[in-house]
Amino acid sequence: MSNPYLAVLKIYIKDVFAYKVDLTLSTLFNILKPLLLIFVFYAVYQFSNVSTLKGITLSSIVVYFFVVGNLDFIVAPTNIVKHMQNDIKEGSIATELIRPINYIFMPFLSVIPADIILFAFTTIPLLILLYLITGIHLNIFIIIAFAIGVLIAYLISNLLSFIIGSFSIYLVDVSGIGEGILWINEILGGGIIPIIFYPKIISNLLMLTPFPFMIFVPAGIFIGIINTNIVNILITGIVWVIILALISKIVWKRVSKDMNVVGV
C-alpha cells in the first residue's frame, strides 16, 4: 500500500479507535432523537384520531424516524466544519500543508473513518433489524437505490460542510453557522417532519434544493414513501453533488489565496 491518501485514511481510522468507550456510547446515543420524534408523532396521530396522515400510517412514521435516526450522522457532519475551523484557528493547517497531498481532501479523509465505522456497526445492523421486525417491502432495486441515496446524502452534506468550513479563514469560528445549517438540514430535509407533510407547492420546491437529498430521499426510498421516479430523483441528487463539488473547489481556490493575506 503506497497511496498517500490511503495512508491518511488509515491513520485516521486508528485515531477513531483510540477511545473505544466514547465511540460505542456516542453510537448508542444516536438512537435517542428518533425515539423522541416517534413519541411526538404518536401523540399527533392519537389526538387527530386518524389512521393515516397524507397517506402515511403511524407505523410508517415510526420506521421513518428510525431510519432517519440511523442516518443522522450523515446529516450532522459538523466534524468537517470543526476540522477546518481548528486547522485555521490553531494554525494546524500548516502541518497538513507540509505533506505531499492536496489539502482539499484532508477534511473528508479525517471524517470518513468514523462515519464508515458508524455505518457498518450501527446503521446496517439496525436497518436489518428494522426490516426483520417491521417486514418492510425491500427488493434489490430498493436496496441499490437506497445505497446510492445514502452516498448522495453523505456527499451533499459533507460538501456543504466543506464550503462552510472554508469560511473559517475569514470568520475563524464558524461552528455557529455549522449548527444553523444543521437545523436547516433537519427542517428542510425531513429530519423533523417528512417533507411530504408540507404544502405540496413547498415540498415540490424543496425537492429542487439539495436539502431533501440529505434525509428525506434515502429514508423515503427505504420505507417506500418514495416509490416512483426514483431514478430521476437520484439523478437530480447526483447533479447536486457535482454542483456542490464545483462550488467547493472554486470556494477553496479563492479562500486559499486569501489565507495568504490573513496568514496562518
Partner 1 sequence: MENIIEVKDVKKKFKTYESGSGTFEFFHRKTFWKNALNGVSFEVKKGEIVALLGRNGSGKSTIIKLLSGILHPDSGSVRIFGLDPWEERINVVKDIGVVFGSTHPQLFWNLPPIDTFKYIKELYEINDKNYNKRLKELIKMLNLEEVYKRQTRQLSLGERMKCEIVAAILHMPKLVIMDEPTVGVDLPSRISITKAILNLRNKLGMTFVMTTHVVDDITKADRIIILDHGIKLFDGTQEQLKDKYEKIAILDLYFTKNFNVLKKKYSKLGKVIESKNEHIKIEVKPDTIKSSAFMEIFNDKFVEDYRLSEPRLSSILEMAYKEIDKNSKKNKQ
11 binds partner 1 (CB under 8 A): yes
Classify burial at 91, counting beta carbons within 10 Å of its beta carbon; exposed 0-12, middle 13-18, buried 19 or more: exposed
Site track for partner 1 across 240-259, x = CB under 8 A: -------------------x
Those residues with Cβ within 8 angstroms of residue 70's Cβ, 6 or more apart along the chain or in another chain: 30, 31, 34, 122, 123, 126, 127
Contact between 260 and partner 1 (CB under 8 A)?
yes
24 near partner 1 (CB under 8 A): no
Nearer to partner 1, 100 or 199 (CB): 100
Binding letters toward partner 1, positions 61-100, x by CB under 8 A: -----------------------------xxxxxx-xxxx
To 5 degrees, how large is the angle CA 203–CA 204–CA 206? 60
Report if residue 137 touches partner 1, rule: CB under 8 A: no
**Closest separation between CB of residue 26 and partner 1, Å?**
15
Q: What values do phi and psi take at 114, rounded to 5?
A: -60, -40
Q: Which is nearer to partner 1, 12 or 119 (CB)?
A: 12
Tell me whether residue 87 or residue 186 sits nearer to partner 1 (CB atom).
87
The DSSP call for residue 226 is -
- Is 247 within 8 Å of 167 (Cβ atoms)? no
Q: What would the grid cell of residue 30 be? A: 444516536
Residue 66 is placed in which grid cell? 428510525
Cβ count near 63 (within 10 Å): 23
x/- site string to partner 1, residues 101 to 120, per CB under 8 A?
A: xx------------------
**In angstroms, rounded to a whole number, what is the distance separating the alpha carbons of residues 208 and 225?**
18
**Does 2 engage in binding with partner 1 (CB under 8 A)?**
yes
Nearest-angstrom CA–CA distance, 18 and 190: 34
In the complex, least distance from residue 87 CB atom to partner 1, rounded to whole angstroms: 10
Q: How many residues of this chain bind partner 1 (CB under 8 A)?
A: 31
Q: Counting contacts by CB under 8 A, is residue 140 touching partner 1?
A: no
Binding site for partner 1 (CB under 8 A): 1-4, 6-8, 10-11, 14-15, 18-19, 90-95, 97-102, 259-264
